[in-house]
Structure 1
């Protein structure tokens, strides 16, 4: 039996974010310890997202969009807009801070946003690696089109292809777009797998599955996903974590003491400045 997880919904002023992981049913799926579905939203002129500079340790953030654009800046000096089909992969390692904002040019008119943001916990041996940022344009990702299915290998490996995005453990992260009535057999190529249904009506092995939910698949199975309407989904998972992880605010670590240090480092300004973005999110009180 697969496990269906209803995400927690956060309304950020007319813009909804759904968090499916971590949850009671799944603290992680493969290396993924945080799974957020953003939108779909349509912003009025002058509006957008403004996530002020904030810190991370012990993880990599992965952003993938179906529509819209987000501007990324970080303490390494990276400045990069991500557009639909691109991948932004930021390795926090021992520490980085970044901001995410709607580009000013888009704010002049109405503009959509729809995508997924996930955190991948780094293996213990890489938790203190040097921070890094990598952008991969949509054209660089392996793509498969067959029988009404469009698959894009965002990170890791899947369906005989491998993404150019550097990963730290065996990873499954495949964007799935299906035409109505198209089917896709889900490979049993990874130990842990889940599929998040962003949009559309679907069935898994003939049983209806709910939109905007995460379905954690049983190991070793090869269920068939069928689209009853045009469908957007994300297949994710990979090698299980090499031990439990602690999550507090934006910090992930195998050590509680390391998280306490990160809290103090943010209070003391030791993460550095994000060039061109002078604001910051204060450390939460709890």
Structure 2
């Protein structure tokens, strides 16, 4: 605990800013029902009501409170992005470690399969698959997790390839340790630092990817509140000088910047560089 506090005290202001942003977003996502004055899908007024003490950011084309939907959008957008990132990380890291440990034809087969998937543009591939299988939340999470796991596979395999040739891994092999023991006891502890930084970056990419899909109409579907779809649904307001749709875009940008600040600090700490 003391070591963690010393590490946090040494963090630069940008990292503290990023951690504060992440903490606020998590709080808003968890406490959304208590913060939002109206329900997520509740029609509370007329079409495009102006800002007021009742409707803090006005209403949308269906008369739903924009501020309430912005708050609930934090829960939906961040929650789904976090779930997709966790699944992608679990799948990509596991297969990457396994590929590096096995080596030989198994490594080549897995690597070439991943190369094929990575050769297809992610957005086009996701649009194609979601058009075929539907745009439900489980399908959205599964498609994004599979696509993003290919990037994590490359990082995990590259890190593991440098570890499996170390003397302590060779010694463990000579002792007759099994595959699971080598991965969990030798590779994972020594690969944690770079993969944690990669986890933050992957979350940003997934978060932006989901928002882009929602903006195109194939992400999180109505009436579920989502920042990407909120920008698309209310973009017409910008033509009349109303900046309300930009709040959802700003929420996406602010979280991305905050996470990247924290990731930059983590990379600096794990690399062993000194000021």
- Give TM-score scaled by structure 2 length: 0.24
- Structure showing greater relative contact order (alpha-carbon pairs closer than 8 Å, 6 or more residues apart): 2
Q: Which structure is larger by alpha-carbon Rg, 1 or 2?
A: 2
- Give TM-score scaled by structure 1 length: 0.23
Q: Which has the higher strand share?
A: 1
